[in-house]
Amino acid sequence: NAGVTQTPKFQVLKTGQSMTLQCAQDMNHNSMYWYRQDPGMGLRLIYYSASEGTTDKGEVPNGYNVSRLNKREFSLRLESAAPSQTSVYFCASSEGRTLAKNIQYFGAGTRLSVL
């Protein structure tokens, strides 16, 4: 049972470099999400995709872009990385049909450092 798979697990970037975080789920979920977790804080939503073909901004979207490639995959791109984007990034997915069914299942996270 793979669930939600994120790659890479760790990444170090220099300021100004770009990279894409990959996320794939095998649960046939409709909705997918990207969060960031900073030290000592809860998760904050960056972007989400309620269903295939749609994406929308969350609480902290600046500096990021996303692509819902298909129902399974949802990628997060940093075009020009900044030290403030040093964080742990989590991808999640959910059925997204009713609130009771909207339990989000998370990937293992990507630990990103921007120097």
Partner 1 sequence: AQKITQTQPGMFVQEKEAVTLDCTYDTSDPSYGLFWYKQPSSGEMIFLIYQGSYDQQNATEGRYSLNFQKARKSANLVISASQLGDSAMYFCAMSLAGGTSYGKLTFGQGTILTVHP
Residue given tokens 């964080």 in the structure block: 87
Taking CB under 8 A as the criterion, which residues in 7-46 touch partner 1?
31, 33, 35, 40-45
Q: Which two tokens stand for residue 20?
A: 């894409």
Least separation in angstroms between residue 37's CB and partner 1 is 9
108 near partner 1, judged by CB under 8 A: yes
Burial class of residue 101 in the structure, from the number of CB atoms within 10 Å of its CB (0-12 exposed, 13-18 middle, 19+ buried): exposed
Q: What are phi and psi of 83, to 5 degrees?
A: -55, -30
- Give the integer Cα–Cα distance in Å for 72 and 68: 8
Is residue 56 part of the contact set for partner 1 (CB under 8 A)? yes
Q: How far is the CB of 101 from partner 1 (least distance, A)?
A: 9
Q: Is 94 in the site for partner 1 (CB under 8 A)?
A: yes
Helix (H) or strand (E) holding 10: strand 10-13
Whichever of 85 and 110 has its CB closer to partner 1, that residue is 110
Among 14-22, 65-73, 74-82, 99-107, which window interacts with partner 1 (CB under 8 A)? 99-107
